């Protein structure tokens, strides 16, 4: 190819880049004109359970606006149609690429499966995979519209609250991807943080347990910690126990900065199913008020064993609760599925095998230090 | 550049040429295409690698017998002038339609994910102009594009570590849950992502070190297999079976979850860099098509031949046919590729052996 031809091609390539500047009659909005949706909330309409109530929150950047956040609520049969209606209501071009949090009301998730709604959001290429999901006590609208005087605007506040941080590891950090994974996978059930609005703050007070895509029950934060420990969270927030001592006292001890490891092993026998769970927690002992001297190796061992016993009891109690609810957020079933060849049936596991599994928990505790005071 | 010399390709050129021509648009949806095989899907790339390896044997034996000729002239020599020319025309058409289908596919993905409002034509023209530019440098430039494409995109593999959660690793244990039929069906469907290695039949005469080429061709194939397997493993760990069955571009969905404080939505970046993989593939295919036209005409490489093949691609791309017909065309093209790589080299090799076995 001659030099001239190459030059012409180079010019053509440069020219074609200019085409990005063209318009097709509808003006491309500039960034201020985009309504960047930060939160979407779904609720059931109280009078008619076939209607959805969709709430979206978007930041208002205009200097003359009094509120920093715009909130719209629309009622419609189709959640998607409701979004379009909101798009008609706002003066901005609605855009979901900055979506951070999706909220569902407890009524909705208990009444209906939400996989349909989630699928629709998951399908949208504009929406990232790291959008957090929460269940709210009462309508999400109340949480979004709440008055949080000492907090930043609601979108930022809620996003920071839902983001993974160590002190909140008692509850899962469920993203849109995690939820869909766990709801559709044959060996797991979703678990979602549960939000309550208490006066001027939002409190993540419980963990909501799901059976596929329907909520069944709540776990308390303490139970949540054990669940997360068994489900292989690497770090846990501090856990407090009342341990049994020889003298009959029940002194309080807290473990802090916990590193946790867990191993779930099944016998692979669906007739006599058995699961062995080994937990290993090591952390710092805090505020121990009992009779043992933690500086001594022997007495430390006694305390460690006492804590271990406590953990085992709590775990077994939790497992029993999960068995009764027939939900498997820890993925016990995976330990069977990976050992049994042939097709795995989720229904059979839930209704026939799961209730009769015998669980065994062995917890090993190691106190790494006791703080800086004698 | 080493103009005038026939043999231009170094060993590493061969390796990356094979590797990068294989990876193109099909890879972006490979895990979805083979989802029927369930959690054993990561075995499929390995199985495909073995098949490709077996297919390479007759191909390279044939090439070894005609070290200075492309498949186009081998065809004419072995099956006669008329039949040979006919097969060559089919091959040129195959290359051109392959390129069209890749470009079409890529533009569709771009429109779905990144540039929803941009016109097809505006995406098509720069892509083809760039290809034309690469073509003007001959096979060595194509090979260099492949090397560049490899290093521009290979770092994306690092992001797969987002998916590997230790808790879910038990899902990759092969239990053969699905049985043989879905497995082989997925193998058949997935095999299109291995296409590209057959181009060795055409650029073999341009390799400097022909004796060792088998080693490097094999290396290229298994490098691809390695990447495919890694991605399939990541998908098995990261997605539920329902998700793999429903997500059209699993690789982009994996990138979607990657989070940095300084950059968001890596998948747009990944998709933009994918253009390197597309460019390397289509320029290699078009180079072969151009070579075919060279062979049909004077035997001398001229630039109008490159314009002609690009024109052909443009015509097929803008043919006013509906989606269904278009898909059927691409599907038949794929079947043609399967039968061509399966039958033609073996057939030619046997013909050659019967004719006395001597390289002519």
Q: Across the interface, do B243 and A184 touch by the CB < 8 Å criterion?
A: yes
What pLDDT score does B48 carry?
Answer: 92
pLDDT in tens, B171-207: 777 777 777 888 888 888 888 888 888 888 888 888 8
Contact A22, A33 (CB under 8 A): no
Flag the least confident range among A71-85, A215-229, B44-58.
Answer: A71-85
Contacts 24+ apart (CB under 8 A), B121-127: B122/A16, B122/A19, B124/B314, B124/B317, B125/A12, B125/A16, B126/A13, B126/A16, B126/A17, B127/B103, B127/B275, B127/B278, B127/B279, B127/B282
Please name the residue that has the structure tokens 């094979």.
B18
Q: Is the pLDDT of residue A335 over 90?
A: no
**Nearest residue to B31 (alpha-carbon basis) of B254, B221, B223:** B254
CB contact under 8 A, A186 and B240: yes
Task: Look up the pTM and report it.
Answer: 0.86
Summarize the confidence of residues A199-215 as an average pLDDT: 86
Question: Phi-psi category of B356—alpha, beta or left, where left has phi over 0 and alpha has psi -120 to 50?
Answer: left
Contact at CB, B241 and A185, closer than 8 angstroms = yes
Closest alpha carbon within chain A to B167: A232
3-state secondary structure of A66: coil
Give the minimum alpha-carbon distance from A57 to chain B in angstroms, rounded to a whole number: 21
Q: Which residues of A275-302 are buried (b: 16+ CB within 10 A; e: fewer)?
A: bebebbbbbebbebebebebeeeeebeb
Contact call for residues B221 and B195 (beta carbons, < 8 A): no
Model pLDDT for residues B331-356, shown as the tens digit of each residue: 898 898 888 888 888 888 888 888 76
User: Stretch B205-212: mean pLDDT, rounded?
Assistant: 87
Q: pLDDT by residue (tens digit) across A94-140?
A: 888 888 899 999 888 888 888 888 888 888 888 887 889 999 988 88
Q: Which residue's entry shows tokens 């063209």?
A: A22
Which of A8, A16, A182 to probe the B interface (max B CBs under 10 A)?
A16
Report yes or no: A23 at the B interface, CB cutoff 8 Å. no
Q: Is the pLDDT of residue A214 over 60?
A: yes
Grouping H, G, I as helix, E, B as strand and the rest as coil, residue A273 is coil
Interface of A with B in 175-234 (CB under 8 A): 175, 177, 180-182, 184-186, 231-232
pLDDT for B24: 86
Give contacts of A335 with chain B, Cβ < 8 Å. Answer: 170
A334 and B241 within 8 Å at the Cβ level: the answer is: no
Going by pLDDT thresholds of 50, 70 and 90, the confidence category of residue B225 is very high
How many Å separate Cα A57 from the centre of its chain? 20
Residue B228: is its pLDDT beyond 70?
A: yes
Share of chain B above pLDDT 90, in %: 22
Q: How far apart are CA A295 and CA B213, in angstroms?
A: 69
> Is the confidence at residue A28, as pLDDT, over 90?
no
Residue B255 has which token pair? 């990138």
Terminal-residue alpha carbon distance, chain A: 85
Per the structure block, which two tokens stand in for A25? 């009659």
Q: Give CA–CA dist B64/B293, Å, rounded.
A: 23
Beta pairing partners, A105: A136
Q: Are strands A214-219 and A235-236 parallel, antiparallel or unpaired?
A: unpaired
Mean pLDDT of the region B157-168: 77
Q: Does B240 contact A331 at a Cβ distance shorter than 8 Å?
A: no
**Mean pLDDT throughout B1-9?**
66
What whole-number distance in Å separates Cα of residue B43 and Cα of residue B64?
A: 32
B7 contact partners, CB below 8 Å, separation of at least 6: B205, B206, B207, B208
Q: Residue A234 pLDDT more than 80?
A: no
Kindly list the distances between the CA atom of residue B295 and the CA atoms of A4, A313, B88, B299, B308, in Å, as whole numbers in the listed order. 26, 81, 9, 5, 14
Is the pLDDT confidence value at A24 over 50?
yes
Over residues A325-335, the mean pLDDT reads 86
Chain B residues whose CB is inside 8 A of the A184 CB are: 240-243
Shortest distance between the Cα of A130 and any Cα of chain B, in A, equals 6
Q: Indicate yes or no: CB of B176 within 8 angstroms of CB of A341.
A: yes
State how far residue B12 is from chain A, nearest Cα, in angstroms. 26
Q: Which residues pair with A277 in a beta bridge?
A: A264, A361
DSSP annotation of A30 reads P
Within 8 A of A2 by CB-CB distance, chain B residues are: 303
Integer Cα distance of A335 and A313 in angstroms: 22
pLDDT range class, residue B357, cuts 50, 70, 90: low
The per-residue pLDDT for range B47-61, each reduced to its tens digit, is 999 999 999 988 888
CB A154 within 8 A of CB A164: no
In the predicted structure, residue B160 carries a pLDDT above the cut 90 = no
pLDDT for A90 equals 80
> Helical H runs in chain A?
3-18, 79-89, 106-111, 115-123, 140-145, 154-162, 176-184, 221-230, 297-325, 332-337, 346-348
On whether the CB atoms of residues A249 and A332 are closer than 8 A, the answer is no
Q: B36 is written with which tokens?
A: 């029927």
Residue A197: phi, psi to the nearest 5? -95, 115
Task: Measure the CA–CA gap between A256 and B246, rounded to whole angstroms.
Answer: 43
pLDDT, chain B, mean: 86
- Averaged pLDDT for residues A243-272: 81
* CA pair distance A347, A324, nearest whole angstrom: 15
Question: Which of B138, B167, B302 is best to mutate for the A interface (most A CBs within 10 A)?
Answer: B167
Contact B240 A184 (CB under 8 A): yes
Measured between beta carbons, the chain A residues lying within 8 angstroms of B113 are: 125
The rounded radius of gyration (Å) of the Cα atoms in chain B is 20
Domain A225-370 has CATH 1.20.1440.60: no
What is the nearest CA distance from A214 to chain B, expressed in angstroms? 17
Q: What is the pLDDT of residues A266-325, one digit of tens each?
A: 887 888 888 898 988 888 887 777 777 777 778 888 888 888 888 898 899 999 998 888
Residues A354-373: tens digit of each pLDDT: 888 888 889 888 888 776 66
Residue of A nearest to B127 (CA): A13
Which residue has tokens 């890879």? Answer: B27
Distances (CA, A) of A258 to A238, A286, A290, A302, B148: 7, 12, 21, 19, 47
Q: pLDDT tens digits, residue range B86-98?
A: 989 999 999 999 9
The answer to whether the Cβ–Cβ distance between A17 and B171 falls below 8 Å is no
Q: Name the residue facing A129 among B170, B256, B303 (closest C-beta).
A: B256
% chain B with pLDDT above 70: 96
- Helix pair B323-354, B43-65: axis angle to 10 deg: 50
How much is the pLDDT for B1? 46
Q: Would an 8 Å CB–CB cutoff place A18 in contact with chain B?
A: no
Q: Are residues B129 and A16, on separate chains, in Cβ contact within 8 Å? A: yes
CB contact under 8 A, A130 and B176: no
Shortest CA distance from A343: residue in chain B: B177
Highest mean pLDDT among B157-161, B308-312, B340-344: B308-312
Question: Are A69 and A154 spatial neighbours (Cβ–Cβ below 8 Å)?
Answer: yes
pLDDT of A161 over the 80 cut? yes
Q: Is the pLDDT of residue B295 over 90?
A: no
- Residue A265's pLDDT is what? 86
**CA of B168: which chain A residue's CA is closest?**
A334
Average of pLDDT values for A243-253?
Answer: 77
Residue B119 has pLDDT above 50, yes or no: yes
Q: What does the pLDDT average to over B242-255?
A: 87
Q: Which A residues, 98 through 127, put their C-beta within 8 Å of a C-beta on chain B?
A: 125
Q: Give me B75's structure tokens.
A: 């065809």
Q: Does A55 touch chain B (CB under 8 A)?
A: no
Mean pLDDT throughout A91-95? Answer: 79
Chain A: closest CA distance from residue B43 (Å): 16
Q: Which of A13, A125, A335 lies at the smallest CB-CB distance from B113?
A: A125
Q: Where are the alpha helices (DSSP H) in chain B?
A: 11-22, 25-33, 43-65, 71-79, 81-113, 120-135, 138-153, 180-190, 200-203, 213-238, 241-246, 250-256, 266-296, 303-318, 323-354
Nearest Cα of chain A lies from the Cα of B109 at a distance, in angstroms, of: 11
A13, A185, A343: residue with CB nearest B177? A343
The SS3 call for residue A50 is coil
B319 burial type by CB count under 10 A (0-12 exposed, 13-18 middle, 19+ buried): exposed
Per-residue confidence band for B360, with pLDDT thresholds at 50, 70 and 90: very low
H or E element at residue A75: strand A69-76
Query: Which of A16, A125, A185 has the CB atom closest to B240's CB atom?
Result: A185
End-to-end CA distance of chain B: 31
CA-closest candidate to residue B291, choices B316, B278, B279, B309 = B309
Q: Which residues of A touch B166 (CB under 8 A)?
A: 232
Residues in B lying within 8 Å of A, measured between beta carbons: 112-113, 117-119, 122, 125-126, 129-130, 132-133, 136, 166-168, 170-171, 173, 175-177, 238-243, 253, 256-257, 259, 264-265, 303, 306
**A225 and A239 Cβ atoms separated by less than 8 Å:** yes
Cβ of A181 within 8 Å of Cβ of B256? The answer is no
pLDDT at A113: 83
* Rounded Cα gap, residues A296 and B123, in angstroms: 73
List of chain A residues whose C-beta atoms are within 8 Å of the C-beta of residue B168: 334
Q: How far apart are CA A10 and CA B209, in angstroms?
A: 35
Say yes or no: A25 contacts chain B, CB-CB below 8 A: no
Nearest of A189, A280, A186, A300 to residue A230 by alpha carbon:
A280
- Spell out the domain ranges in chain A: 3-219, 225-370
Assess contact for B214 and B150: CB atoms under 8 A: no
């Amino acid at each position: 190819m001659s030099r001239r031809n190459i030059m012409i091609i180079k010019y053509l390539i440069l020219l074609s880049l200019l085409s990005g500047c063209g318009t097709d009659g509808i003006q491309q909005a500039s960034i201020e004109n985009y309504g960047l949706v930060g939160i979407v909330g779904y609720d059931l309409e109280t009078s008619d359970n076939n209607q959805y109530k969709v709430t979206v929150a978007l930041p208002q950047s205009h200097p003359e606006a009094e509120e920093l956040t715009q909130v719209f609520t629309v009622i419609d049969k189709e959640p998607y149609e409701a979004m379009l209606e909101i798009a008609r209501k706002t003066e901005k071009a609605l855009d979901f690429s900055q979506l951070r949090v999706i909220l569902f009301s407890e009524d909705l998730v208990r009444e209906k499966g939400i996989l349909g709604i989630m699928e629709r959001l998951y399908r949208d290429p504009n929406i990232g995979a790291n959008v957090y999901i929460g269940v709210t006590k009462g309508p999400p609208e109340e949480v979004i519209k709440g008055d949080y005087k000492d907090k930043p605007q609601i979108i930022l506040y809620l996003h920071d609250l839902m983001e993974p941080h160590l002190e909140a590891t008692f509850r899962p950090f469920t993203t849109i991807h995690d939820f869909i994974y766990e709801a559709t996978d044959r060996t797991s059930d979703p678990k979602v943080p549960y939000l309550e609005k208490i006066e001027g703050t939002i409190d993540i007070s419980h963990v909501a347990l799901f059976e596929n895509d329907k909520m069944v029950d709540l776990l308390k934060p303490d139970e949540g910690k054990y669940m997360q420990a068994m489900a292989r969270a690497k770090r846990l927030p501090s856990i407090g126990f009342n341990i049994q001592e020889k003298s009959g006292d029940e002194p309080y001890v807290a473990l802090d900065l916990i590193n946790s490891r867990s191993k779930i092993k099944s016998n692979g026998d669906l007739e006599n199913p058995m699961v062995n769970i080994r937990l290993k927690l090591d952390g710092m002992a805090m505020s121990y008020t009992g009779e043992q001297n933690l500086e001594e190796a022997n007495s430390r061992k006694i305390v460690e064993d006492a804590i271990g016993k406590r953990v085992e009891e709590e775990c077994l109690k939790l497992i029993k609760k999960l068995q009764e609810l027939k939900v498997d957020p820890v993925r016990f079933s995976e330990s069977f599925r990976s050992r049994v060849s042939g097709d795995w049936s989720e229904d059979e596991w839930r209704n026939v095998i799961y209730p009769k599994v015998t669980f065994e928990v062995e917890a090993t505790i190691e106190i790494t230090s006791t703080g800086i005071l004698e | 550049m080493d103009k005038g010399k026939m043999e231009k390709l170094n060993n590493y050129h061969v390796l990356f040429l094979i590797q990068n021509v294989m990876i193109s648009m099909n890879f972006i949806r490979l895990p979805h295409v083979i989802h029927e095989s369930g959690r054993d899907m990561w075995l499929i790339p390995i199985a495909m690698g073995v098949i490709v390896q077996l297919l390479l044997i007759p191909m390279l034996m044939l090439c070894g017998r005609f070290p200075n000729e492309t498949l186009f002239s081998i065809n004419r020599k072995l099956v006669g002038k008329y039949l040979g020319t006919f097969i060559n025309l089919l091959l040129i058409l195959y290359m051109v339609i392959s390129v069209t289908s890749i470009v079409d596919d890529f533009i569709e993905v771009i429109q779905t994910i990144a540039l929803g409002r941009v016109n097809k034509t505006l995406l098509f023209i720069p892509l083809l102009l760039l290809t034309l530019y690469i073509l003007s440098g001959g096979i060595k430039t194509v090979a260099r594009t492949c090397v560049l494409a490899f290093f521009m995109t290979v770092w994306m593999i690092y992001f797969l570590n987002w998916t590997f959660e230790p808790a879910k690793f038990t899902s990759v244990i092969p239990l053969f849950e699905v049985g043989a039929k879905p497995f082989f069906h997925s193998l058949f469907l997935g095999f299109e992502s291995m296409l590209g290695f057959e181009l060795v039949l055409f650029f073999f005469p341009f390799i400097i070190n022909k004796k060792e080429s088998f080693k490097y061709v094999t290396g290229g194939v298994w490098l691809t297999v390695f990447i495919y397997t890694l991605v399939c493993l990541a998908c098995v760990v990261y997605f539920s079976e329902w998700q793999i069955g429903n997500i059209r571009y699993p690789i982009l969905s994996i990138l979607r979850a990657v989070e940095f404080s300084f950059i968001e939505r890596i998948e747009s970046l990944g998709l933009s860099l994918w253009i390197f993989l597309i460019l390397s593939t289509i320029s290699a295919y078009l180079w072969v098509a151009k070579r075919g036209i060279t062979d049909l005409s004077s035997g001398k490489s001229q630039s109008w031949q490159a314009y002609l093949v690009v024109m052909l691609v443009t015509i097929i791309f803008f043919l006013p046919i509906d989606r269904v017909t278009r898909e059927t065309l691409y599907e038949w093209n794929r079947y043609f590729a399967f039968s061509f790589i399966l039958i033609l080299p073996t057939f030619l090799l046997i013909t050659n052996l019967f004719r006395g076995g001597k390289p002519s």
